Amino acid sequence: MNITVIGTGYVGLVTGACLADLGNHVFCLDIDSAKIDMLNRGEIPIYEPGLKEVIERNMEARRLFFSTDVAASVSHGDLQFIAVGTPPDEDGSADLKYVLAAARSIGRHMTRFTVVVNKSTVPVGTGDNVRAAIKAELAVRGFHDIGLSVVSNPEFLKEGAAVGDFTRPDRIVLGVDADENGQKALSVMRQLYAPFNRNRERTQVMDVRSAELTKYAANAMLATRISFMNELANLADCVGADIEFVRQGIGSDSRIGYSFLYAGTGYGGSCFPKDVQALVRTAAEHGQDLRILTAVEDVNRMQKRVLVEKIFNRFGPNLSGKTFALWGLAFKPNTDDMRDAPSRVVIGELLRAGAHVAAHDPVATREAERALKLDLADAPALLNGLHFADKPQDALIGADALIILTEWKAYHSPNFVYMKSVMKQAEIFDGRNLYEPEQMSLHEIAYFGIGRKSVS
């Protein structure tokens, strides 16, 4: 098939590359000429394991193209995937200006029946808005009889595992209209995704609005599990329980399961924070108060300061003269995404308290530097107290404590003997519960986890 993907961000790149890998001819469009030039040079603007290899393979096979030519992109694709960003607006609602701009561009140039696929995460009712925007542009051109169908096909990609998630999906959600054009579009979408259904049927067909809500509901449920466990972990700290035992005890219940039951320093990234906010805002527009999700958001915001409070309790609120090693900057491993990363809160608080921070992350240093400059724009001199280490062990030298914020594999089995030999004080504030308190006791390392029994 000839496919156009509008937007070369995280979702657009993964979608375009993986669809090309199935033998389709994919035209990836972006209005950012610098990004398109970068992609055409073989450089990838995001870190995602395996993605670079898929892109290179399909560019070499001439199945994957990158361009800023809007007219050419619409002419190319019988399927037009909209995969642009929907950042949160000032009131927390999803900003649809990029989605609607993409829709208008399609309407200005389409000349035949076209299936427009919303891959972006959008509020309920966006499909209607996209259709209206396209038809308005067609009417201006005097094209009133061109067939059109808008399909909702939300993505369920985990950063750090997106290529595998796309090629081995749990489910493929298709929201289509019941009219003739909708059924025609459904036939095309089934043909496109047929390679993923050979072992079993993964496609779930529903109406457009239900598909739009399904995406938000999925992310909201996962965010709720995270905040639920973080609240229990904070209670465990108060009552002397161990959240890891609690996790095992409830996760073994088949009705609950183990996924997303790990306590930590809160969720971040490009999806959960903005999607929870957008769903709460959508409900408010319809006179509904989603009290559980409002609480989920509040808990997550406070959780990002839990380690800071533990550090202040240990060292006092004035951290002048103290140096902290910090392992992990990205909001999760296998990505360089710094959006709403807990590290931004922790580093900002430590620097404002007078501390020095030596930070390490395998891939996110450049993004972290950019993000922290924005966070501390009101006090840029504080950044003089931050430096980035090339290796995890380098950050430890002379540190009063180690803070762990991302569960990269490289941090799971450190040399604790070396750690004690180069740190001023052997203390760990473990925001991801990577280590066992008993193990730290044997090494005579003071240990403070999230809902774990502390070792002083």
pLDDT digits (tens, 9 = 90+) for 268-285: 998 999 999 999 999 999
Confidence of residue 2 (pLDDT cuts 50, 70, 90): very high
- Convert the pLDDT of each residue in 63-101 to its tens digit: 999 999 999 999 999 999 999 999 888 778 889 999 999
Q: Which ranges constitute the DSSP H helices of 378-452?
A: 392-396, 416-422, 437-442
CATH class given for the domain over 2-206: alpha beta
* pLDDT attached to residue 269: 92
Strand (E) or helix (H) holding 327: strand 323-327
* pLDDT attached to residue 199: 86
- Convert the pLDDT of each residue in 109-147 to its tens digit: 999 999 999 999 999 999 999 999 999 999 999 988 899
- Convert the pLDDT of each residue in 175-220 to its tens digit: 999 999 999 999 999 999 999 998 899 999 999 999 999 999 999 9
- Active-site residue set: 271
* pLDDT attached to residue 144: 81
pLDDT at 431 over 90: yes
Q: Is the dihedral of CA 304, 307, 310, 312 positive or negative?
A: negative
Please report, for the chain, the start and end positions of each structural domain, with discontinuous segments joined by +. Answer: 2-206, 216-301, 304-448
CATH fold of 216-301, please?
N-(1-d-carboxylethyl)-l-norvaline Dehydrogenase; domain 2 (1.10.1040)
Query: Same fold for the domain at 2-206 and the one at 304-448?
Result: yes
Helix axes 208-239, 126-141, angle to 10 degrees: 140
Which value, to the nearest 10 degrees, does the dihedral of the CA atoms of residues 120, 126, 127, 133 take? Answer: -100
Strands (E), 56-160: 64-67, 79-82, 114-118, 148-152
**What whole-number distance in Å separates Cα of residue 303 and Cα of residue 263?**
10
CATH fold of 304-448, please?
Rossmann fold (3.40.50)
**What whole-number distance in Å separates Cα of residue 183 and Cα of residue 149?**
9
* pLDDT attached to residue 92: 81
Per cent of the chain over pLDDT 70 is 100
Residue with tokens 């030999």: 421
Residue with tokens 């219940």: 253
